[in-house]
Amino acid sequence: MSSPRKARLEAAIVDAIEHPKKRNSLTRCMKRGRDSRSERLATLHGGAAFRQEVKAIKTRCIEQLPELQSRFIAAAEARGCQVYLAADGAEVAEICLRIAQERAFTQVSKSKSLTTEEIELNDDLQAAGLTVIETDLGELIIQLVGDKPFHLVFPSVHKMRDEVAEIFSKETGKPVPPDVDAIMKVVREYLRPIFLNTDIGMTGANIGIAETGGIVIETNEGNGRLVSSIGKCHICVMGMEKIVDTLDDAMMMVLAHPVSASGQLPTTYVTWMGGRSPLGVDGVERESHIIILDNGRSRMREDPAMQEALRCIRCGACMNICPTYGVVGGHVFGHIYPGPIGIPWTSEVHGLETAGDFAELCISCGLCKEICPAEIDMPLMIAEVKQRDAEEHGYPATNRMLMAAESMAKLGCTTAPLANWSLRQPWMREIMDRFLGIDKRRSFPAFDGQTLNRRFRKRARKLRGAAPNAGSARKVVFFADLFVQYNRGDLGMRAIEALEAAGCEVVLPKLQGCGYPYIGYGNLNAARDAALYNLARIAPYVEQGYAVVTPEPTAAYCLKIAWPKLLPYHPHAKQVAEASHEIFEYLLAQGFEGGANALGKRYGFHCSCHQRPLGAGAGVQAWLKARGAQVEFLESGTCCGMAGTFGMKAGALGYDLANAVGEPLFELFKGSGVEAVVTESSVCAIHLRDGTGLPVLHPLELL
């Protein structure tokens, strides 16, 4: 990221952090969305399993899109609609203006439409002399102040009640008290004549159905029905990716949209439209027009790295869980499309340069993928955007250094006494802050004087080659990753000894780290190289029946999820993934009962983001409880903010933002009364220790 871009982004982050009232309001709103979704899923038959069906439907329909689009057009035209294909926003505006000018229409009332926001259609229509009024309350608020949406579903969530009252006081010329009921009464009075006197009612469509030629509009305010039914002419502007095959497909989308967005089932108004009654209004026969927009979607469909973005159903769930979006909001984390999905979408429809301006706000925690109803791998797509942007601008110096974490760890381990002494010196930390971009306030774990591999070899020499459990049916490749390899080799040895106590023969081949920093900072080529190196050395063991066990959640995530996605055609990636385990999950499965007595101990457990899709730390929690500990699973609902090495970076785009993200979690732990925090993530441990002041333990320490 170039210096001017970084400076603009950092200034915007600082401004967001310095306005805690708005930041806290946004955080509460996002939490309500997550909590409502969780509550609804608890009552929904099958829970979150609907995500697999949504993914399958969207994947199938995107693959068949040219055929489905042709069928949709034919069916819609058979119902009396006029259908147009528009390559871009300029063509949409041209079609709309031609319709208006041929009929001498001047008044346009709009229901909420992200697609028309994408192409900034209002500006073109108003420039041509049309009066355009947004009738969705959130969209109306931001239209009146010349703003952009802050969130896909809640566009004006950043506006406080008193601000909204002031906006409508100014617009109506009458005093409006900052009371929700009073504001809504004014809004209804303001909009009623607009609905009744409109010429063109303009909407988007949540779904287009090839089977029937119909569209579906989902709203909570009813304005979509008024806009589409009262006026003389209805124009629907719809992205081509919204087309599905059948009514059954559409019904699944009607479920997925609201439950993912706000926990509703379904939205208050679900409008199914198939053509329009020809009833005349003032002698003019009513018309229905559907404009299908491309605007980069065809190109996206042909790009294997970006095609998944077309599965997006615009529910906003990724924004509700994104840790940095929850602090800075959509005007910083976004262009027109905000939040995680906004990065690949902005790259494709508004250009790579625009997306690159805010792509660094993605800290690659992966939570957006875990909540997405269509299971879109946003972190990997965002990494692709970062890589393409780096081809133009290069990688920031600090990111380059942090991607070389393994080389730095090797150096620190080799020179441990000097390295550890240096890291304790204020002058060295000042130099690192100023010239390397590593925040001087951040704590660092000490380096070990010898690697785990060296400890393992030394022990083997003492045993004169008599490896414990040699020939056992239980065979394990131990994947150390960086922390237990270079910082806490003693913990690595404890893990190996526990595996041996469970009857396993353990081997420790010479491996690299898992490579996730490359993904986080957008160097997918280097990430693939790391995966290939490790797979070449692990796969021969797996073919002989070895399991792969790791003590680091992010390493397990790479083994099981990231590497197969990075290398979909690799002959062994899936095989190694299926053989990989987190250490405590594996130990429990082997019947391991060892470890210190923890009777009476009260621990707060922190599950790292990459551990969530692996079972949310169920193995280590069960082991701790079996040792007699009380374990309380504490979470804020999003990331702790550290995000690997992101929280080590200096200033706003690093340490400051990481702390702002982590504040709710820190307060949760400090107020819980637990005596220590337990987490398997070596980097989360640093952040939690700094942020809470509590002891933070790796469960291997309790062995």
Question: According to DSSP H, which parts of 361-508 are helical?
Answer: 367-371, 378-393, 397-403, 405-414, 416-423, 426-431, 452-462, 481-482, 489-501
What does the alpha-carbon distance between residue 385 and residue 391 come to, in Å, rounded to a whole number? 10
Strands 284-285, 475-478: parallel, antiparallel or unpaired by DSSP? Answer: unpaired
Encoding tokens for residue 498?
A: 């526990």
What does the alpha-carbon distance between residue 264 and residue 40 come to, in Å, rounded to a whole number? 7
Percent of the chain clearing pLDDT 70 (strictly above): 98
| pLDDT of the residue at 676 | 97
Give 464 or 43, the one with higher predicted confidence.
43
**Could you tell me which residues come within 8 angstroms of residue 357 by beta carbon, excluding any fewer than 6 positions away?**
5, 8, 9, 335
Burial 534-564 (b: 16+ CB within 10 A, else e): bbeebbebbeeebbbbbbbbbbbbbbbbbbb
186-229 pLDDT per residue, tens: 999 999 999 999 999 999 999 999 999 999 999 999 999 999 98
**For 114-137, what is the mean pLDDT?**
96
DSSP state string for 600-623: T-EEEE---GGGGGGTTTHHHHHH
607-629 pLDDT per residue, tens: 999 999 999 999 999 999 999 99
**For 356-378, what is the mean pLDDT?**
96
| pLDDT of the residue at 323 | 96
CA-CA distances (angstroms) from residue 341 to 1, 32, 314, 318? 20, 20, 9, 7
pLDDT band at 686 (very low <50, low <70, confident <90, very high): very high
Counting beta carbons within 10 angstroms of the beta carbon of residue 247, is it exposed (0 to 12), middle (13 to 18) or buried (19 or more)? Answer: middle
Query: Is 279's pLDDT higher than 70?
Result: no
Range of weakest confidence among 237-246, 256-265, 355-364, 535-544: 256-265
Counting beta carbons within 10 angstroms of the beta carbon of residue 613, is it exposed (0 to 12), middle (13 to 18) or buried (19 or more)? Answer: middle
| pLDDT of the residue at 27 | 87
| pLDDT of the residue at 506 | 97
Residue 443, H or E segment = none
DSSP 132: E
Query: Is 281's pLDDT higher than 70?
Result: no
Percent of the chain clearing pLDDT 90 (strictly above): 88
| pLDDT of the residue at 549 | 98
Name the 3-class secondary structure at 372.
Answer: coil
Give 191 or 4, the one with higher predicted confidence.
191
pLDDT band at 25 (very low <50, low <70, confident <90, very high): confident
Query: Is 278's pLDDT higher than 90?
Result: no
| pLDDT of the residue at 286 | 81
| Other residues' Cβ atoms within 10 Å of the Cβ of residue 611 | 24
DSSP 550: E
Contact 355, 341 (CB under 8 A): no
| pLDDT of the residue at 703 | 85
What does the alpha-carbon distance between residue 82 and residue 93 come to, in Å, rounded to a whole number? 16
Strands 269-273, 214-219: parallel, antiparallel or unpaired by DSSP? Answer: antiparallel
Half-sphere exposure of 470 (CA within 13 A, CB side): 6
| pLDDT of the residue at 216 | 97
Query: Is 132's pLDDT higher than 90?
Result: yes
566-581 pLDDT per residue, tens: 999 999 999 999 999 9
| pLDDT of the residue at 203 | 97
**Residue 403 is which amino acid?**
M
| pLDDT of the residue at 595 | 86
471-522 pLDDT per residue, tens: 899 999 999 999 999 999 999 999 999 999 999 999 999 999 999 999 999 9
**For 36-49, what is the mean pLDDT?**
91
What does the alpha-carbon distance between residue 9 and residue 357 come to, in Å, rounded to a whole number? 7
- CB-based contacts of 165-169 (< 8 A; 24+ apart in sequence): 167/141, 168/144
Half-sphere exposure of 335 (CA within 13 A, CB side): 22
**For 421-434, what is the mean pLDDT?**
96
CA angle 341, 337, 162 (to 5 degrees): 120
| pLDDT of the residue at 267 | 87
| pLDDT of the residue at 124 | 97
Sheet order of strands, 214-219 included: 243-244, 207-209, 214-219, 269-273
Strands 207-209, 200-203: parallel, antiparallel or unpaired by DSSP? Answer: unpaired
What does the alpha-carbon distance between residue 94 and residue 439 come to, in Å, rounded to a whole number? 52
| pLDDT of the residue at 52 | 96
- Residue ranges of domains in the chain, CATH in brackets: 8-32+304-394 (1.10.1060.10), 44-293 (3.40.50.10420), 405-589 (no CATH), 602-702 (3.40.50)
- CB-based contacts of 36-41 (< 8 A; 24+ apart in sequence): 36/262, 36/263, 36/264, 37/259, 37/260, 37/261, 37/262, 37/263, 37/317, 37/320, 37/371, 38/263, 39/263, 40/259, 40/263, 40/264, 40/265, 41/259
pLDDT band at 1 (very low <50, low <70, confident <90, very high): low
Query: Is 2's pLDDT higher than 60?
Result: no
Sheet order of strands, 696-697 included: 630-633, 602-605, 676-678, 696-697
What does the alpha-carbon distance between residue 294 and residue 302 come to, in Å, rounded to a whole number? 13
Query: Is 285's pLDDT higher than 80?
Result: no
Task: List the one residue out of 616, 636, 628, 625 whose CA is nearest residue 680.
Answer: 616
Q: Over the chain, what is the mean pLDDT? A: 94
| pLDDT of the residue at 284 | 61
DSSP 174: S
**For 356-363, what is the mean pLDDT?**
96
| Other residues' Cβ atoms within 10 Å of the Cβ of residue 160 | 12
**For 376-390, what is the mean pLDDT?**
97
- β-pair partners for 238: 292
What does the alpha-carbon distance between residue 476 and residue 160 come to, in Å, rounded to a whole number? 57
